[in-house]
């Protein structure tokens, strides 16, 4: 099988060399070229037509965000961003995800990370994953109008709905579409697990909060889970929802990864399954793997009226997590991304 061709873009010659060496250790990948800045990258994009591009966020001449936007205009290609662990780096990474980047890698010690080899396994894994992105296409950041005929869904008969969302690769962009589609006064809390490291989840929540009619925050231990609010799991911590009297409370603690994930969708879903008085609506969006499937099984077991929604294959960046959920036979609705928020609005009863 022919190796997938990778273009490495970084202003540091050291980083270009190190990333090239790391990717060359994979039997699936081959670096077809490198570029020292955005302008250089755009020239080589046309010349080499790579399968995936690794793109540094901070560069002179043309930075990573501007380069990404031009890539998506000229020749849409799966892009994996490389960014620093700083707050500015996280904010720019979340911006890049909204412009079409499929994933990102956090450099362990700044722009020139001498210890970049420490995350060799992560770099190879994420770039290999990006080569598996199916039906890659660039969609404008604004919520697109679906051409599909709108269905009418009956509202659930419950005063205690809770929407739980799981996502991974391609998730930040998908979450933007779903959360910005919900109206002010939405009569259910929304809890989210997005696979993402520490520091980046706060930037994701802040970005969604600026764009949404709802209040979005990175969840903190002890938060009261309220209607009309959105809670994003912290990176490197597990997020559970527990019942305390008439209230739902966030239990956020560093724990063991579940199937390699912390936070894990399964952990969130299973915690909601153990709550007696609630009507769960589970949403599984784009992502690699099967996280969320075991949790969905528990939700349906303990709350048979759970509404389960999976993102359609055609609208996923990676149809892994939704596909695994669909295979259980427990999914009630498979929806294009643009329609997920519409289903949620119809399912959650208006204020009485």
| pLDDT tens per residue, range 91-115 | 999 999 999 899 999 887 666 776 8
Does residue 138 lie in a domain region? no
- What does the pLDDT look like over 259-274, one tens digit per residue? 999 999 999 999 999 9
Whether 192 and 269 share a structural domain: yes
Task: Please give the residue range of the domain that contains residue 204.
Answer: 161-347
Express each pLDDT in 46-92 by its tens digit: 999 999 999 999 888 899 999 999 999 999 999 999 988 777 889 99
Same domain, 189 and 103: no
pLDDT over threshold 50, residue 130: yes
Strand-pair partners of 284? 166, 310
Q: Is 148 part of any domain?
A: no
154 is a domain residue: no
Q: Is the CB of residue 244 less than 8 Å from the CB of residue 225? A: no
Adjacent-strand bridge partners of 311: 335
Are 309 and 257 contained in the same domain? yes
Q: Which of 45, 260, 272 is nearest to 165 (CA)?
A: 272
pLDDT, mean of residues 305-319: 94
Give the CB-side neighbour count of residue 213, counting CA atoms within 13 A. 13
Is 280 within the bounds of a domain? yes
CATH code of the domain containing 304? 3.40.50.180
Q: Which of 91, 103, 223, 291 is catalytic?
A: 291
Residues 33 and 165 occupy one common structural domain: no
Burial 52-90 (b: 16+ CB within 10 A, else e): bbbbbbbbeebbbbebbbbbbeeeebbbbbbbbbeeebb
Q: Would you say residue 303 has pLDDT above 80? A: yes
Asked if the structure places residue 111 within a domain, the reply is: yes
Domain co-membership, 97 together with 208: no
* Three-class secondary structure of residue 346 per DSSP: helix
Catalytic residue among 26, 51, 195, 339: 195
CA atoms of 34 and 82, how far apart (whole Å): 14
User: Would you state the pLDDT for residue 178?
Assistant: 98
One domain for residues 182 and 127: no
Measured in whole angstroms, the distance separating CA 65 from the mean position of its chain's CA atoms is 18
Selecting among 83, 168, 312, 341, the annotated active-site residue is: 168
Whole-model pTM? Answer: 0.92
Percentage of the chain lying above the pLDDT 90 cut? 81
Q: Catalytic annotation on 195? A: yes
Burial of 334 (0-12, 13-18, 19+ CB in 10 A): middle
303 is catalytic: no
Query: Peptide bond before 317: cis, by omega within 30 degrees of 0?
Result: no
The domain total for the chain is 2
C-alpha 206/C-alpha 40 separation (Å) is: 33
| 147-191 pLDDT tens trace | 455 677 888 988 899 999 999 999 999 999 999 999 999 999 999
CATH number at 116 reads 3.40.50.2300
Contact between residue 183 and residue 224 where contact means Cβ atoms under 8 Å apart: no
170 phi-psi bin (left φ>0, alpha ψ -120 to 50, beta other): left
Q: Are 90 and 83 in contact (CB under 8 A)?
A: yes
Task: From 131, 152, 178, give the residue that closes a domain.
Answer: 131
Predicted local distance difference test score (pLDDT) of residue 146: 46
Residue 352 in this model has a pLDDT that exceeds 70: no
Bridge partner residues of 156 (DSSP): none
DSSP E strands, 161-290: 161-167, 190-194, 215-218, 229-232, 238-244, 247-253, 279-284
Catalytic annotation present for 221 = no
190 and 272 together in one domain: yes
pLDDT higher than threshold 60 for residue 230 = yes
Same domain membership, residue 211 and residue 281: yes
């Amino acid at each position: 099988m022919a190796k997938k061709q990778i273009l490495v873009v970084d202003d540091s010659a050291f980083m270009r060399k190190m990333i090239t060496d790391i990717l060359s250790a994979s039997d699936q990948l081959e670096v077809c070229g490198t570029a020292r800045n955005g302008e250089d990258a755009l020239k080589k994009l046309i010349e080499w037509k790579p399968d995936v591009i690794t793109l540094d966020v901070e560069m002179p001449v043309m930075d990573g965000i501007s380069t990404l936007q031009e890539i998506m205009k000229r020749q849409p290609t799966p892009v994996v961003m490389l960014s620093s662990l700083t707050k500015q780096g996280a904010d720019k990474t979340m911006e890049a995800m909204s412009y079409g980047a499929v994933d990102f890698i956090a450099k362990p010690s700044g722009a020139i990370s001498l210890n970049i080899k420490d995350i060799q396994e992560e770099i190879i894994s994420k770039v290999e994953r990006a080569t598996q992105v199916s039906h890659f296409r660039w969609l404008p950041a604004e919520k697109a109008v679906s051409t599909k005929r709108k269905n009418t869904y009956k509202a659930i008969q419950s005063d205690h709905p809770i929407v739980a969302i799981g996502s991974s690769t391609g998730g930040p962009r998908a979450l933007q579409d779903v959360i910005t589609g919900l109206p002010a006064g939405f009569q259910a809390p929304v809890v989210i697990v997005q696979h993402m490291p520490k520091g980046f989840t706060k930037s994701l929540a802040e970005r969604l909060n600026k764009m949404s009619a709802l209040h979005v925050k990175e969840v903190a231990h002890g938060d009261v889970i309220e209607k009309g609010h959105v809670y994003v799991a912290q990176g490197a911590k597990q997020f559970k929802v527990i019942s305390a009297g008439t209230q739902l409370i966030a239990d956020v603690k560093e724990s063991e990864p579940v199937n390699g994930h912390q936070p894990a969708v399964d952990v969130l879903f299973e915690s909601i399954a153990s709550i007696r008085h609630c009507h769960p609506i589970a949403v599984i969006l784009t992502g690699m793997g099967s996280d969320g499937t075991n949790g969905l099984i528990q939700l349906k077991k303990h709350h048979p009226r759970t509404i389960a929604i999976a993102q359609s294959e055609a609208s996923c960046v990676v149809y892994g997590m939704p596909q695994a959920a669909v295979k259980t036979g427990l999914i009630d609705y498979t929806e294009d991304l643009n329609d997920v928020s519409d289903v949620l609005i119809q399912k959650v009863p208006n204020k009485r």
